[in-house]
Amino acid sequence: MQFGRYYEEFEVGDVYRHWPGKTVTEYDDHLFCLLTMNHHPLHMDANFAEKTTEFGKNVVVGNYVYSLLLGMSVPDVSGKAIANLEIESLRHVAPTFHGDTIYGETRVLDKRESRSKDDRGVVEVETKGYKQDGTLVCVFRRKVMVPKRSYGQARGGEQPGRPALREGN
């Protein structure tokens, strides 16, 4: 199974539909909030959300939705990346709630060879996340430095660093 792509494999206009989706649980949301010290009651306090917000229930913290989509895109986009260079834009378009399932897809917007090293290039992509009913919830653009095939071959091929199995131990 391929994990990520080399520079030569990206074509402007290609769309990668990430699979599978992820159903967001209350546990996921609360754990992420606690790990990142975001204790806003909109995300953590059901009574507060019910009585004081237009939604009437907790809203999943937006950075979790973004992080989830970023992670979903790794096998298709940045699994071979040398570096994530920039998050150009990030928009939260609609709320996500506990129990919603998030799906993602990424479109290749642009690519250019590195000006300083001939074994890599920069790929610009836009990732969109949407719920089970098709509602767009998050959109972000990023630039990723990815290796060319020559870079990968010089460093061990498709699974660099993977040890060989030693029989008889």
Across the strands, what pairs with 142?
87, 125
| DSSP conformational letter for 115 | S
Determine what percent of the chain is predicted with pLDDT higher than 90: 86
What amino acid is encoded at 77 in this protein? V
In the sheet that 15-23 helps form, which strands lie side by side, from edge to edge? 15-23, 101-113, 120-131, 136-147, 83-92
* Residues in Cβ contact with 95 at an 8 Å cutoff, skipping those fewer than 6 apart: 55, 59, 60, 137
* Residues in Cβ contact with 164 at an 8 Å cutoff, skipping those fewer than 6 apart: none
Q: What is the pLDDT of residues 46-78, one digit of tens each?
A: 999 999 999 999 999 999 999 999 999 999 999
Q: What is the pLDDT of residues 85-124, one digit of tens each?
A: 999 999 999 999 999 999 999 999 999 999 999 999 999 9
